Chains A and B, each alone.
Chain A
Amino acid sequence: MTSSSVTAHDTTPRRRLGSRLGDRTFLVFLLLPGVVLLCTIVLYPLIRSLVSAFFDENLLYPGMEFVGFENIAAVLADDFGRLVWQTLIFTVGATILPFLIGLALALVLNQSFPGQRLLRGAFLIPWLIPGVVVSFLWMWIFDANYGVLNGILMSLGAIDSPVAWLFQTDTARGALVIAKTWNTFPWVMVMLLAALQTVPGELHEAASMDGAGVVRRFFAVTWPHIRGVAALVVLLEFIWNFQHFDTIFVLTGGGPAGTTSTFATEVYDSAFRGYDLGHAGALGIVWMALLTVLVVVYVWLSERGEKGVSR
């Protein structure tokens, strides 16, 4: 579900229920617990962290001193370019790769063949298992001394000696993207499979009568039907990856030499390793500003998609 449902039902006949059922006290009872809870655990902490961006505040000492835009200026001057770049590398890689794999798989699993149903279920495993298990597993696969990846590549003669995939600046990013890809391609597959089932079979039939090949039929028939969902999938993946934390934190901790750190790991580090809440808050403001742009695009796209599909 997307924000589409924010608008989806506004025009239904239900509108009249509002006034007739309109027992105001009951409505307050319905909404109050959720609103109070969300304000306490999401809104207040968030405002609090953005406020600390304007103060010199340390996790270890009480008290805060107003410094204005000093923290934010420091972030923009020092880390900004590097963090945006590194966050983007991870985000783009971990969005495109699962999309391509998920799309290929969805197209194959949309055919009927023996065992297709079982395979659809089995392919969900990487997405189902807890994220931290995913991280452990890939940490073990990439292990510098005994990892199975090194074992296989050495038996094949592709490398001469074991490679410390997670501890080398030129391989760590790729390793992270692969681990994250493994975790998320099933989600892309499910979303695209659902979209593929809206493609009418007769259209394919007709196109193939007209002599269109597989590739041609994909671009002429299939793609236009799944384009809207595909765009949302990519955008959502992009937003989530832009703030992804777990895999990076467990596998590389932002290293080696800070080359895989993103806004997420940097905020965590500056708060819990550097105890510098002002810096963490300033990073947060910059990060949230970038995220807001993404979310606005997402809402705009899903509302537009809503109009396009429900005509």
Chain B
Amino acid sequence: MSTIAPTPAPATLPLEPAPAPPARRRRSGRIRWGMWISLAVIVLFGFAPVYWLLVTSLTPSDRVFAFPPALFPTQITFEHYATVFGNAQIFGYLRNSVIVSVITAVLSVVVSMYMGYAFSKYRFVGRKSLMYFVLSSQMFPQALLLVTLYLVFAQFGLLNTYLALILSFTTFTLPLCVWMLKGFFDALPDDLIEAARIDGAGPWRIFHSVVFPLAAPGLVAAGLFAFVRGWNDFIFALTLAGPDRQTLPPGLVNTFISEASTSWPALMAASLIVSVPVCVAFILLQRFLVGGITAGAVKG
């Protein structure tokens, strides 16, 4: 399955321009109209919510609860961004998010680098079953896993610690990284390893001096994916972290949503800020995007 199989390294497929299609000389007017209308609807559906997110975050507080809301702002303000950055709690959540996501990413990459290499370059008894285990561990329902992770962590006194968050994030980042990195190692020619062997290098040396440097771009890509997945997690962080260890997604809920009222513009401003690192990571990852997304097909 060439399109779905891990297309390693420089797979730039969908962001590159497509080869020019044949001229459609006889396309009927009706179909062209239908196409334009459906495209317009999809464009509206795709972008209007993002537009509304932006507009709300820039709307002065006294106008947010005007109804019907003004679709085009007559007055913009940055007060809500100031509110978000002026909130000391938010910086605590931000720090937790960075710590937990970075450590999760590093742990996942280190562990899955070895596992992915073994799956790619070694043949051993039980290899296929083990690979299916890794694959299917992404299919286990998070909500169910959450309940027992809570019990296990409670038993070992790990609730409300960074470790609890890192370990619980690893349940979904590790399988993803293993599959991505196996794809990268598959793309490295065996001849390299053979050559190093003939030069007398042992397996340990071959991996760390020959394979590792070549796989570095793949490791970075996998790490970024893991970072983003950890950064985005809501439910594990909400349940397993206490107030001191809460990351941004549940932290935003605590800060801006309450039974009595919700500060929508501030929440939208904070939401945009949370999305920034993800977008930056995406821009850095563009080169690996298809390989990554399709590897993520194991768990999107």
Contacts and interface: CB of A to CB of B under 8 A. Distances in A.
Interface of A: 1-6, 8-10, 13-15, 17-23, 26-27, 29-31, 33-35, 37-38, 40-46, 48-49, 52, 59, 101, 104-105, 108-112, 116-117, 120-126, 128-133, 136-138, 140-141, 143, 145-146, 148, 150-152, 154-155, 162, 182, 184-187, 190-191, 193-198, 201, 204-205, 208, 211, 213-215, 228-229, 232, 236, 239-240, 243, 245-246, 249-250, 263-265, 267-268, 271-272, 277, 280-281, 284, 287-288, 291, 295, 299, 302, 305-306, 308-310
B33 interface: no
B133 interface: yes
B123 A214 contact: no
- Chain B CB within 10 Å, residue with most, of A1, A48, A155: A1
Contact of B122 (A22, A105, A124, A265): A22
19 contacts: A4-B5, A21-B197, A27-B124, A34-B115, A37-B170, A121-B15, A123-B46, A128-B279, A128-B282, A129-B279, A130-B249, A130-B274, A131-B232, A146-B67, A150-B68, A194-B4, A205-B22, A214-B24, A271-B147
A137 B52 contact: yes
Interface in B262-294: 264, 267-268, 271, 274-275, 278-279, 282, 289-291, 293-294
Interface in B156-171: 167-168, 170-171
Given A30-B114, A45-B148, A104-B39, 11 more contacts: A1-B298, A18-B123, A21-B121, A34-B174, A37-B174, A104-B42, A213-B27, A246-B234, A272-B150, A288-B140, A310-B1
B278 A38 contact: no
Given A129-B275, A140-B264, A146-B65, A101 B1 contact: no
Contacts of A152: 68, 71
A245 B144 CA distance: 10
A215 B122 CA distance: 48
Contacts of B149: 41, 45
Contacts of B68: 150-152, 154-155
Interface of B: 1-6, 13-22, 24-28, 31, 35, 38-39, 42, 45-47, 49-50, 52-53, 56, 64-69, 71, 110-112, 114-115, 117-118, 120-124, 128, 130-137, 139-152, 167-168, 170-171, 174-175, 178-180, 182-183, 186, 190, 193-194, 197, 202-204, 206-207, 231-232, 234-235, 239, 249-250, 252-253, 257, 264, 267-268, 271, 274-275, 278-279, 282, 289-291, 293-295, 297-300
Given A17-B190, A30-B115, A136 B146 contact: no
A236 B300 contact: yes
A193 B2 CA distance: 13
A122 B283 CA distance: 12
Nearest to B64: A146
A213 B45 CA distance: 28
A128 B46 CA distance: 12
Contacts of B144: 46, 49, 267, 280, 284, 287-288
Nearest to A18: B123
Given A1-B179, A27-B124, A208-B24, A141 B278 contact: no
Contacts of B118: 27, 30-31
B235 A245 contact: yes
The 9 closest A-B pairs by CB, nearest first: A151-B68, A18-B123, A45-B148, A34-B115, A30-B118, A243-B141, A1-B6, A49-B148, A130-B232
Contacts of B69: 146, 148, 151
Given A1-B297, A155-B68, A277-B151, A194 B13 contact: yes
